[in-house]
Amino acid sequence: MPLGSFPRSEGTVSSPIGGGASAVPVHVAVIMDGNGRWARARRLPVIAGHRQGAESVQKCVRTAIQQGVRYLTLYAFSSENWRRSTKEVGDLTSLLRFYLRHKINELHGQGVRLRVIGEPERFEGPLREELHRAETLTLHNTTLTLTLALSYGGRAEIVQAARRLAEDAVAGRITPDSITENTLHDALQTADMPDPDLVIRTSGECRLSNFLLWQSAYAELIFMDVLWPDFGESEFLDALSRFAGRQRRFGGRPA
């Protein structure tokens, strides 16, 4: 099947795609890895890799819209990234604030809704203000939901959900016996979006690195050798093509 022409998926985990039928995933999640290595290979400061990586985000969004992907979630800043140098964290947050200020109108014009998961309250006030402005401006857009995972950790998200359910149980709003996978799912920050059908990681690393651990239980995983700043339309289409060739079983037998 030629790249650039993929039939739509009929659903996510709750509606398996049978028999290896070609389909575009409803929800794609991306672990954007390799900015630093890209910069070091060119003897450039790390921020140069982050700037080029921001350009790749724009290409990724455009391709997702063109192909009919409805949800795109990007691992933009993990909870572990706070261990990086103060300068790199500052450069990253300044770059994110710049792109939110100067690119949000373009995203809004494309019908993109911007959302944030994680702990954005850990960032400085100016970035939080830009995030709030962007979320408010794009709230009612429906072409694509672009979710930024900022100061995000999958284990921490599950702990927060469990704590919320425990508080409800102590308050008598629910009983322990009533807690199911569905109730825990509904306590997650991603409760109002489908689980990812496809998780892509760039840079050749083959791990989830604490990203959407609960939500990715039945996602297809694709690890690509390309560094994130070199990820563009052709790489995204390649990942979609590989996804379309997968046979999704969800624990059942093949069709």
Domains and CATH numbers, the chain: 27-244 (3.40.1180.10)
Positions marked active-site? 33, 81
Going by the annotation, the residues of the binding site for Mg(2+) are: 33, 220
Cα(229)–Cα(113) distance, integer angstroms: 23
Where is the binding site, in residues? 33-38, 50, 78-80, 82, 84, 201, 207-209, 220
| Residue range 118-174, pLDDT digits in tens | 999 999 899 999 999 999 999 999 999 999 999 999 999 999 999 999 999 999 999
CB pairs under 8 A, 24+ apart, for 176-184? 184/158, 184/214
pLDDT digits (tens, 9 = 90+) for 183-235: 999 999 999 999 999 999 999 999 999 999 999 999 999 999 999 999 999 99
Say how many residues make up the chain. 255
